Amino acid sequence: MTASSLPLTGLFRLGSRRARFLVERNIYVYRRTWIVLFSGFFEPLFYLGSIGFGLGALVGTVSGPGGQPISYQLFVAPALLASAAMNGAIAEGTFNFFFKLRYNKTFDAILSTPLSPGDVAVGELVWALIRGGIYAVAFIVVMAILGLVVSPWVILAVPAALLIGFAFGGVAMAATSFMRTWQDFDLIQLVILPLFLFSGTFYPLDAYPEALRVVVQLTPLYQGVDLLRSLVVGHLDGSLLVHVVYLAAMGVGGLLVVSRRLDKLLLK
Amino acid sequence: MPDLPPPPDAALIRARGLTKRFGSFTAVDAIDFDVAHGESFGFLGPNGAGKTSTMRMIGAVSPRSDGELSVLGLDPELAGPSIRARLGVAPQQDTLDTELTVRENLVIYGRYFGLSRAECGRRADALLEFAQLTERAGDPVEPLSGGMKRRLTIARALINEPDLLLLDEPTTGLDPQARHLLWDRLYRLKQRGVTLVLTTHYMDEAEQLCDRLVVMDKARIVAEGSPRELIERYSTREVAELRFPAGIQDSLDGQLDGLAERVELLPDRVLLYADDGEAAAVAVHQRGLRPETVLVRRSSLEDVFLRLTGRSLIE
Amino acid sequence: MTVMSRVVELRAMQYRRTFRASLFSSFLNPVLFLLAMGVGLGTYVDRSGSATQALGGLSYLQFLAPGLLAATAMQAAAFESTFPIMAGLTWQKVFHAMYATPIGPRDIVLGNLAWIALRLTMIAAIFTIVMTLFGAAASPLILLAIPAAVLTGMAFATPIAAFSATQRTPEKFNAVFRFGITPLFLFSGTFFPISNLPAAIQPIAWFSPLWHGVELSRALALGTIGANPLLAIVHVVVLAAIAIGGAAWAFRTVERRLVRG
């Protein structure tokens, strides 16, 4: 019997039905601070109004997926949805997760119950996805009201947004499990803003020189932006599968790392 | 198979050669102990003796490095969740959920054990009553006093009606009033037949709460028994504490020999161990020595610890 | 004045510890926006016919850069007058400790505001250099855009600091940023002329302090201030009035907090 046999005994299994109690806990917390939840929905809307409509009037049309010209609003809306899914998942997976892990000792208390570190990781991620899913549905409803729904495939934009949340949430939690102080979060900011601004979010990739274009195409947010934009305009091809696999692998990888790290951090 | 309850008189906890190492540091060094059903069992020792590491292994949140351990008849490494489902744990540092209210802390914790929402609500209300926190039910946790937080932590540990309650330093940092209130609550639990396992570095706490205890020092168990047995075995009935004027104590060498069963020279005072402390103090005066103060008291676990390790419990 | 300078000194010391974070938010942030929007998206704006007229013949980069300058000052000011004020009054209670010395409430407020103004000057100066390197400066008057941006920032710093002194938890700060700073950033003529807003909403933009700051900075950076000097004076008066009013309010709220403990 050694410490190394512990992960094999079920503690390491990736989550159980008990993970749902963590979601329930977060619902309790947000019942009081719903304004925070509520306000997260407005940020992409403000951007859509400002950049999409205000500035978009000066841009006119740009080339969308497959090269057909589309209105700038239609071009930028799915990208804002993808960015919102990323931002929401990262906010939960970094600041909130760090607070619960290091300060509130939420997880230490939880591990004295039948829940395991795997349950904690899954429960937290599921919560982040529920939050992201609510935003995604609301945003698509707003798009419909603004006349930005042009293809029935838009219905798949909701699961696609959840997939983006899963990918970034998993990686964010994994990264957070290695952080020691709040100052370390500057590094996360340093990654998010360039992703937000340069992943083909606000203008087509042909603005970049060839070499840079390839680099941008490899970034995770580009995968999400292109996936959502293609679904929103109804331009489906095999490359979307690549995006799906890329994002799913990110999420699963993140979850595996964070579960292992929680084992190490909490089960000393 | 792992969920079968142990036979009634079997040990609830059984440890043989239990060891915990962190790298090259040995926090718990091959200790043996048993805790019986309905018993109140204590680990007494100074900070860093290995008490908390032992508690975490019993609590199935820390894998052992070596030895055998069975909790509620199960192996913590194989049946962690099943064991934890029947434990109540009050850790050394409060881990209350500061994002929830007092009552929500109890309700949500109950949910982690898979209890229904209605059942959690019922138990939460009863436990708030027990912990004398009913009036604070809807308040956030942060502004509560240390004693209130401690009571809430213990109430939370009781939400699943545990067979075994683990208390790590239950009253450390509390003022005397808060301690006595907490002792009273723990005593009531004991009367209800809850098995208590606690760690402490307060001898008075160990004397108040423990039927049986082990004294730990430097990762090992150095003595075991009931508080009374330990005192009888390692100390005398009474102790006379003498304080001499500055400078005098250093020159006492040998002058107190034969006045008591044992003489202990501490930096600030001299302890005379004797069955009749009063008589020993009188004998000191008869030798012409003039201490500034004399205090005769009953022997305590502190004296046991001093005898066993040569050091005080609280440094 | 010397008493006040001790408050500035304290803030400068604290700043050294969070240098990396503020370097990011106050410098990298606007430069990345300038690159993505001004240069990247700018090529598409400049390509379209409708933009030339709406922007009065300017390149989008030229239009955007001075707006971002003012908006950056606003964001930095809002940040500097929320969390650090809460830290001083609630978390570390440094201001309470100062209050126990000959330093008075007014010194504490003025010292903090002086520090924020100093920070804004640094940020605005660096950003102005970047703007010039990007070719977004059309007039030497751009040098005056630096004090214009500082004034814009102070119109936010003083009332927000006053508000922060009334709070004991940072919960409402989130709302200040999400429902105050972010919409102002996006709808005050920074990214597009407010004439592009629906006609019914346009007058609302006049109430945005940031709009006054953006217009003023833009007129200075482009050297077009002479075309309508009266309007420029209105911008300055509006911003100064808010900054001074906010400072007066901050004197009251900070003093109240210090007295109550």
SS (H, E, C) chain B: CCCCCCCCCCEEEEEEEEEEEECCEEEEEEEEEEEECCCEEEEECCCCCCHHHHHHHHCCCCCCCEEEEEECCECCCCCHHHHHCCEEEECCCCCCCCCCEHHHHHHHHHHHCCCCHHHHHHHHHHHHHHCCCHHHCCCECCCCCHHHHHHHHHHHHCCCCCCEEEEECCCCCCCHHHHHHHHHHHHHHHHCCCEEEEEECCHHHHHHHCCEEEEEECCEEEEEECHHHHHHHHCCCEEEEEECCCCCHHHHCCCCCCCCCEEEECCCCEEEEECCHHHHHHHHHHCCCCCCEEEEEECCHHHHHHHHHCCCCCC
Rounded CA-CA distance B281/B295 in Å is 9
pLDDT value at B5 more than 70: no
Task: Scan for tokens 């807003």, then name that residue.
Answer: C197
Q: Where in the sequence is the domain holding A11, given as residue range(s)?
A: 3-266
- Residues in chain A with CB shorter than 8 Å from the CB of B2 are none
Nearest CB partner across the interface for A112, out of B89, B96, B98: B89
- Residues in chain A with CB shorter than 8 Å from the CB of C32 are 193-194, 197-198
Label residue C91 by pLDDT band (50, 70, 90).
Answer: confident
Identify the residue among A112, A267, A268 best suited for mutation to test binding to B, counting B beta carbons within 10 A and taking the highest: A112
Rounded CA-CA distance A29/A33 in Å is 7
pLDDT in tens, A205-251: 988 999 999 999 999 999 999 999 999 999 999 999 999 999 999 99
Q: What is the ipTM of this complex?
A: 0.88
Same domain for B103 and B246? no
Same domain for B265 and B168? no
CB A61 within 8 A of CB A159: no
CB–CB contact B65 A18 (8 Å)? no
Report percent pLDDT > 90 for chain B.
Answer: 52
CB–CB contact C196 A42 (8 Å)? no
The Cα of A23 is separated from the nearest Cα of chain B by a number of Å equal to: 11
CB B18 within 8 A of CB B28: yes
Which residue from C253, C261, C251 is spatially nearest to C111, judged by alpha carbons? C251
CB–CB contact A58 C48 (8 Å)? yes
CB–CB contact B112 A21 (8 Å)? yes
Which residue, B178, B213, B231, sits at the end of a domain? Answer: B231
Of B17-31, C4-18, C103-117, the poorest mean pLDDT is in C4-18
Q: What is the mean pLDDT of residues A99-108?
A: 86
Of B210-224, B290-304, C44-58, C103-117, the poorest mean pLDDT is in C44-58
pLDDT, residue A47, reads 94
Which residue, B231, B246, B273, sits at the end of a domain? Answer: B231
pLDDT, residue B50, reads 93
Rounded CA-CA distance A163/A175 in Å is 18
Which residue from B110, B104, B107 is spatially nearest to B140, judged by alpha carbons? B104
pLDDT value at B3 more than 60: no
CB–CB contact B66 A104 (8 Å)? no
pLDDT in tens, A200-218: 999 999 889 999 999 999 9
The Cα of A31 is separated from the nearest Cα of chain C by a number of Å equal to: 14
CB B42 within 8 A of CB B199: yes
Task: Scan for tokens 């599921």, then name that residue.
Answer: A126
Cα distances (Å, whole numbers) of residue B204 to B31, B184, B197, B210: 24, 14, 16, 10
Q: What is the mean pLDDT of residues C86-97?
A: 83
Question: Does residue C43 sit at the A interface (CB-CB below 8 Å)?
Answer: yes
pTM of the predicted model, to two decimals?
Answer: 0.83
CB–CB contact B84 A3 (8 Å)? no
Rounded CA-CA distance B169/B299 in Å is 23
pLDDT value at A179 more than 70: yes
Output phi, psi for B217, to 5 deg.
Answer: -150, 130
Same domain for B95 and B130? yes
CB–CB contact B112 A267 (8 Å)? no
pLDDT value at B6 more than 70: no
Q: What is the mean pLDDT of residues B80-89?
A: 93
**CATH code for position B275:** 3.30.70
pLDDT in tens, C201-239: 888 888 999 999 999 999 999 999 988 999 999 999 999
Question: A interface toward C at CB cutoff 8 Å?
Answer: 33, 35-36, 39-40, 42-43, 46-47, 49-51, 54-55, 57-60, 62, 183, 186, 189-190, 193-194, 197-198, 202-204, 207
- Residues in chain A with CB shorter than 8 Å from the CB of C44 are 59, 62, 203-204, 207
Q: What is the mean pLDDT of residues B1-19?
A: 72
Same domain for B156 and B293? no
Of the two residues A74 and B94, the one the predictor is more confident about is A74
CB–CB contact B97 A24 (8 Å)? no
CB B49 within 8 A of CB B219: yes
Same domain for B135 and B165? yes
Tell me the pLDDT of chain B averaged across its residues. Answer: 88
Q: What is the mean pLDDT of residues A54-72?
A: 91
The Cα of C105 is separated from the nearest Cα of chain A by a number of Å equal to: 30
CB C155 within 8 A of CB C209: yes
Which residue from B154, B143, B214 is spatially nearest to B179, judged by alpha carbons? B154
pLDDT in tens, C181-204: 999 999 999 999 998 888 888 888
- Residues in chain C with CB shorter than 8 Å from the CB of A195 are none
Rounded CA-CA distance A230/C137 in Å is 39
Same domain for B227 and B241? no
**b/e sequence A22-37, b meaning 16+ C-beta within 10 Å:** bbebbebbbeeeeebb
Q: Where in the sequence is the domain holding B278, given as residue range(s)?
A: 236-298
Instruction: Tell me the sheet residues that pair with B164.
Output: B87, B195
Label residue A7 by pLDDT band (50, 70, 90).
Answer: very low
pLDDT in tens, C127-170: 999 999 998 888 999 999 999 999 999 999 999 999 999 998 88
User: Looking at the 3D structure of chain B, how many domains does it have?
Assistant: 2
Are β-strands B11-22 and B238-243 bridged in parallel, bridged antiparallel, or unpaired? Answer: unpaired
CB–CB contact A3 B63 (8 Å)? yes
- Residues in chain C with CB shorter than 8 Å from the CB of A204 are 44
> Chains contacting B with at least 3 CB pairs below 8 Å?
A
Contacts for A200 with CB less than 8 Å, ≥ 6 apart:
A79, A216, A222, A225, A226
Are β-strands B164-168 and B11-22 bridged in parallel, bridged antiparallel, or unpaired? Answer: unpaired
- Specify if B148 maps to a domain: yes
User: Looking at the 3D structure of chain A, how many domains does it have?
Assistant: 1
Question: Does residue C187 sit at the A interface (CB-CB below 8 Å)?
Answer: yes
Nearest CB partner across the interface for A39, out of C37, C174, C191: C174
Label residue C21 by pLDDT band (50, 70, 90).
Answer: low
pLDDT, residue B281, reads 87
| Strand ordering across the sheet containing B270-274 | B262-265, B270-274, B238-243, B293-298
> Chains contacting C with at least 3 CB pairs below 8 Å?
A
Rounded CA-CA distance B60/A11 in Å is 11
Output phi, psi for B126, to 5 deg.
Answer: -65, -40
- Specify if B314 maps to a domain: no
Cα distances (Å, whole numbers) of residue A184 to B91, B228, C26, C220: 29, 54, 17, 39
pLDDT value at A4 more than 60: no
Nearest CB partner across the interface for C186, out of A47, A183, A193: A47
The chain A residue lying nearest B91, using CA atoms, is A109
Same domain for B103 and B213? yes
Rounded CA-CA distance A161/A143 in Å is 14
